Amino acid sequence: ELKVEQNPLFLSMQEGKNYTIYCNYSTTSDRLYWYRQDPGKSLESLFVLLSNGAVKQEGRLMASLDTKARLSTLHITAAVHDLSATYFCAVVPGPGTYKYIFGTGTRLKVLA
């Protein structure tokens, strides 16, 4: 059974600082997704990582995937208040499967 773990679960950081959120998963997968959720809202797609070594960047966020280590990272550079949200990773366990299993989420609060 695929398990997806994120850490930290909560993150409070100052504006301008850098930090990394980690997403570990327990079985083979080559597809990983990152989503953002604002309070009371739905989930918004951030990144799609489809192969080992994939790196995607958008603004102050950069995501990477290491399928051998079963690890994805979401790096935040020079955080701003607008990045405050909950971030989820989701993994599809192997080719030919269609389940998307989500991590428990990382609640990020950026302090001005």
Partner 1 sequence: NAGVTQTPKFRVLKTGQSMTLLCAQDMNHEYMYWYRQDPGMGLRLIHYSVGEGTTAKGEVPDGYNVSRLKKQNFLLGLESAAPSQTSVYFCASSSAGDGNTGELFFGEGSRLTVL
Q: Which residues bind partner 1 (CB under 8 A)?
A: 9, 31, 33, 35, 41-45, 48, 50, 88, 90, 92, 98-105
> Toward partner 1, which CB reaches closer, 1 or 68?
1
Pick from 42, 74, 49: which is nearest to 60 by CA? Answer: 74
Tell me the C-alpha distance between 79 and 61, whole Å.
9
Rounded to a whole number of angstroms, the minimum distance from the CB of residue 7 to partner 1 is 13
- With H, G, I as helix, E, B as strand and everything else as coil, classify residue 66: strand
> Toward partner 1, which CB reaches closer, 17 or 41?
41
> Toward partner 1, which CB reaches closer, 71 or 80?
71
**Which residues is 108 bridged to in the sheet?**
11, 85
Torsion of CA 16, 17, 18, 23, to 10 degrees: -110
Tokens for 44, please give them. Answer: 């918004």
Rounded to a whole number of angstroms, the minimum distance from the CB of residue 41 to partner 1 is 8
Tell me the C-alpha distance between 43 and 39, whole Å.
10
> Toward partner 1, which CB reaches closer, 98 or 112?
98
Rounded to a whole number of angstroms, the minimum distance from the CB of residue 12 to partner 1 is 17
Rounded to a whole number of angstroms, the minimum distance from the CB of residue 53 to partner 1 is 17
